[in-house]
Amino acid sequence: MPATEAQTIADLVSHPRTVAVVGLSPKAHRESFKVSQYMQRQGWRIVPINPNAMEILGEKVYASLTEAAAAEKIDLVNVFRNSEDVPPVVEEALAIGAPAIWLQLGIRNDAAIAKAQAAGMQCVQDKCLLVEHARAPR
């Protein structure tokens, strides 16, 4: 029986992970920066994915998930991109064997998520990782 989204969220936020953040901005006022900084402070390893930056939050930035996966073990792909940009991110996450993908608040792509779930990937969409982590029991 497939896990419910609530079960998936509980599992994904229950312990620190290495998370590739697609669309992580170097600008401190952006949500991607704030969420990633919070997760980093909670002990998570942040792997920034942004073809236009060199370093964010003290971490080396990779141009793509494929490049990051060659150097890092990725446990979760956290997406800060427009909903219409999700399908190629899912394709790349599947290609690197990422076990989970999280689409941040306001980001939905049911077809791409259905494909990821069919491949066995844990999936969450339209939820904030920071909010869900902060509300999880310790």
* Ordered structural domains, the chain, with CATH: 5-135 (3.40.50.720)
3-state secondary structure of 84: helix
The pTM score is 0.96
pLDDT digits (tens, 9 = 90+) for 103-128: 999 999 999 999 999 999 999 999 99
Asked whether the CA dihedral 9, 14, 17, 23 is positive or negative, the reply is positive
pLDDT digits (tens, 9 = 90+) for 11-43: 999 988 999 999 999 999 999 999 999 999 999
* Tokens (6 digits) for 111: 């077809």
Asked whether the CA dihedral 114, 115, 121, 127 is positive or negative, the reply is negative
